[in-house]
Amino acid sequence: MGIETIKKITKFCNTKRPLVCLTAYTRYMGEILDGNCDLILVGDSLSMVIYGNNFTKNVTLQTMINHGKAVGLAVKKSVLVVDMPKGTYETSSKIALKNAKKIMRETNCDAVKVEGGLKIKKIIKTLVKNKIPVMGHIGLMPQQANKLSDYKVKGRSEKEEKSIINDLVAVQESGAFSVVIESVPRALADKLSKISTIKTIGIGASKQCDGQVLVTEDLLGYFTKTAKFVKQYDDIRGRILRSVHKFKSDIIKRKFPTEKNIY
Ligand code: KIV
């Protein structure tokens, strides 16, 4: 772990105000977001957002590395985290370590994110022991989704609630510096944030979390349908369409290219 990573993660963990976290999958989104949010995540949600899949599980290690590398070219100030995709860490500590080292080396990121709690406690411990900063992810874990109906709030039953609390404890005991809490009832999110000794980052969780994360394309308004936890701050879809129609009209009226655009 380099000195810059230590500094960035220490600053992140010592921040008293709510933490701002967003996703980036490309160099230029990384450039726009760098320094304007505390943490930038190259999430495996790119499987859905970039590649149009219904699930995150289809993404490969190499795809995550390619996008991580692109974002890594731009990110200097924010903590840069790359998701370890499904199938690259859960089965053994040895495989997890080999793949995490490859992600860290090839993308220049500061940390990796893994989904799970109790079941992967040993794996997180191994990564942390080997100086790889880890962000956990509990509650709804998209890598477990096999059908669309699997994307639902977790922790409504007492049994599920207990299991998520155990996951949080496992993640913090294994040395992760932060944990994403996704799609759980507000009361449970409040409880998790209260008992947590590490930074809790909510998505569909509650205001009591230490920070919030969203997929950047969701907040920009790329999609016609989004999860309830998304707040749309723009209508980028409408803006793109308006520009495309203006471009089309300029071409048809022979207004483009102008003198300024030709040699
Ligand atoms: O893959 C992702 O982008 C994520 C965030 C939405 C937390 O895991």
How far apart CA 164 and CA 157 sit, in angstroms, is 11
- The model's pTM is 0.96
Residues 6+ apart with CB under 8 A from 115: 86, 136, 137, 138, 141, 142, 143, 144
Predicted confidence (pLDDT) per residue in 60-88, tens digit: 999 999 999 999 999 999 999 999 999 99
Element (H, E) at 39: strand 39-42
pLDDT score at 178: 98
pLDDT at 58 over 90: no
pLDDT score at 106: 97
Nearest CA to ligand 1 atom 1: 43
Same domain (yes/no): 133, 183 = yes
DSSP tag of 6: H
Please indicate whether residue 41, judged by its CB atom, sits closer than 6 Å to ligand 1: yes
The torsion defined by the Cα of 119, 132, 129 and 89, in degrees rounded to 10, comes to: 30
Please indicate whether residue 44, judged by its CB atom, sits closer than 6 Å to ligand 1: yes
Same domain (yes/no): 224, 240 = no
pLDDT at 215 over 90: yes
Kindly tell me the burial class for residue 96, based on how many C-beta atoms sit within 10 Å of its own C-beta (0-12, 13-18, 19 or more): buried
Distance of CA 235 to the CA centre of its chain: 22
Closest CA to 67 of 100, 99, 42, 33: 42
Please indicate whether residue 213, judged by its CB atom, sits closer than 6 Å to ligand 1: yes
Q: Please give the average per-residue pLDDT across 126-146, as a whole number.
A: 97
Same domain (yes/no): 90, 151 = yes
pLDDT score at 157: 97
Same domain (yes/no): 124, 189 = yes
Choice from 51, 182, 222 to test ligand 1 binding pocket (greatest atom count within 8 A of CB): 182
pLDDT score at 117: 96
Give the model's confidence band at 248: pLDDT under 50 very low, under 70 low, under 90 confident, else very high: very high
Cα(16) to ligand 1 centroid in Å equals 23
Same domain (yes/no): 32, 105 = yes
How far apart CA 201 and CA 207 sit, in angstroms, is 10
Q: Please give the average per-residue pLDDT across 121-129, as a whole number.
A: 98
Cα(258) to ligand 1 centroid in Å equals 43
Is the Cβ–Cβ distance between 83 and 23 less than 8 Å?
no
- Across the chain, mean pLDDT equals 97
Please indicate whether residue 205, judged by its CB atom, sits closer than 6 Å to ligand 1: no
Amino acid at 203: I
Predicted confidence (pLDDT) per residue in 29-57, tens digit: 999 999 999 999 999 999 999 999 999 99
Tell which atom from ligand 1 comes closest to the C-alpha of 180: 7
Same domain (yes/no): 99, 74 = yes
Same domain (yes/no): 188, 258 = no
Closest CA to 42 of 14, 21, 11, 12: 21
Same domain (yes/no): 135, 243 = no
Beta bridge partners, 19, equal 211
Is the Cβ–Cβ distance between 43 and 60 less than 8 Å?
no
Same domain (yes/no): 243, 218 = no
Q: Residue 93 is part of a domain; what is its CATH number? A: 3.20.20.60
Nearest CA to ligand 1 atom 3: 43
Nearest CA to ligand 1 atom 5: 43
Predicted confidence (pLDDT) per residue in 139-150, tens digit: 999 999 999 999
Q: In the chain, how many domains are there?
A: 2
Encoded tokens for 169: 């404890």
pLDDT score at 263: 97
Encoded tokens for 145: 């989704």
pLDDT score at 1: 80
Whole domain around residue 148: which residue ranges? Answer: 3-232
Whether 217 is a known active-site residue: answer no
